[in-house]
A = this chain, B = another copy of it.
Amino acid sequence: MPGSSFGTLFRITTWGESHGPALGVVIDGCPAGLPLSEQDIQPYMNRRKPGQTRYTTPRKENDTAELLSGVFEGYTTGTPISILVRNTNQQSKDYSHLASVYRPGHADYTFDAKYGRRDYRGGGRSSGRETLARVAAGAVAAKLLSSFGIDVLAYTSAIGPVSLPDSLQAESRVFKRSLVMASPLYFPDSAASERAEAYLSEQMSTQDSVGGIITCQVTGLPAGLGEPVFDKLDACLARAVLSIGAVKGVEFGSGFSAASMTGSVHNDAFYQTEEGKPAKRTNHAGGVLGGMSDGSALLLRAAIKPTPSIARPQQTIRSDGSETELSIHGRHDPVIVPRAVVVVESMVALTLADLLLQNAVARMDWLQKIYPENTNP
């Protein structure tokens, strides 16, 4: 299926290029009866918007979400929700010199290899601006999830070599949203945030860029979400998060560390809570067992590569194959991580909204709650 749709039952389709007239998203399959307005969407857009701190591009993008369908008298109607964002700050002339050169670390060459042509203005479809549509839809998914007590929160856990201290990275650690929002880099720890800011300033002074790690926690998930075999919860989340341009790896719970653990260490023991519920003593699994949520907090970490657009000179080739040197000037983020935090959060929310709906048809006894009159005795 063409690549601009995501989800099965809660399904989005995004469209738009960096320097076209607009970008947008259509959400199909949002259940009827969810209270929704543009006020639910704009705050997510604002978290992604550049120019908020000195660590993001000074480009001004006035990203206003226009809600065009699917909502009536304040509630979703069950029909597609279309959200449009006009591009208002396109400077296409900035990019004309890139028409026939392949920027290292970007999709210029691969787009040409695939399609035989590309919109080279600002990366076109492969621009980070595409994520704006994901965030608009993610806001709707997050609103849906919150109706069921599910909360998705992403934060920065590393910028370059500066990480959260190990004590704050235990698989069972859960942070508050306010703590994350207090840091300009979305670190849930002010000391780490300050160290990262210092590191970042240093790299910016040498016209270089840096990467980092984003962690996403989900609380309030009922057990059983995710479909066994190919649509496992972690498999679906990995695809979702790796579909974000700069992500180079994803892990759950102990992740790559699990590879060097023994079974007796990695296995999480079950116990019964005082309320009589099943629970786990540890969370090396990161909240997923056999591809389904296990009732613990879900924990996912995503590796973000350094911004590929740098002012330093780089060796590359032109579309005719000839070699050249390229320095990319312009308004680029020295680090993508802080702006990507809400994108990760959105992709996780979209995945969970879809799996929440898919899970609802797993059992006869649940269907009988929906179709009671039609159920035989």
Contact = CB atoms under 8 A, between A and B. Distances in A.
B236 A160 contact: no
B149 A259 contact: no
A139 to B, nearest CB: 17
A293 to B, nearest CB: 7
A66 B22 CA distance: 11
11 contacts: A9-B9, A15-B70, A21-B66, A72-B118, A113-B224, A113-B294, A147-B376, A208-B264, A211-B258, A238-B242, A248-B258
A262 B110 contact: no
Copy number of this protein in the oligomer?
4
Measured as residues with beta carbon below 8 angstroms from the partner, the interface class of chain A is 35 or more
Contact of A211 (B29, B266, B303): B266
A59 to B, nearest CB: 18
Interface string A276-311: 111001000110011111110000000111111110
A316 interface: yes
Find the residue from A31, A209, A225 having the highest chain B CB count within 10 A. Answer: A31
Nearest to A72: B119
A125 interface: yes
Contacts of A17: 69-70, 72, 79
Given A33-B363, A295-B113, A376-B149, A14 B370 contact: no
Contacts of A184: none
A294 to B, nearest CB: 5
A231 B13 CA distance: 12
Contact of A26 (B15, B253, B260): B15
Nearest to A19: B72
Contacts of A365: 33, 116
A80 B107 CA distance: 17
Contacts of A102: 270, 278
A158 interface: yes
Interface string A240-274: 10110100111111111111111111111111100
B239 A248 contact: no
Contact of A124 (B33, B72, B149, B293): B72
Interface in A16-51: 16-17, 20-24, 26, 28-29, 31-34
A178 interface: no
A181 interface: no
Nearest to A288: B110
A94 interface: no
Contacts of A368: 147-148
A346 B203 CA distance: 42
A375 interface: yes
5 nearest A-B pairs in the assembled complex, by CB-CB distance: A107-B290, A3-B227, A249-B251, A114-B224, A2-B29
A239 B235 contact: yes
A160 B256 contact: no
A227 B260 contact: no
Contacts of A5: 5, 11, 13, 28, 230
A376 B161 CA distance: 40
Interface in A73-98: 73, 75, 77-82, 84
Nearest to A104: B267
A120 to B, nearest CB: 8
B323 A125 contact: no
A359 interface: yes
A80 B272 contact: no
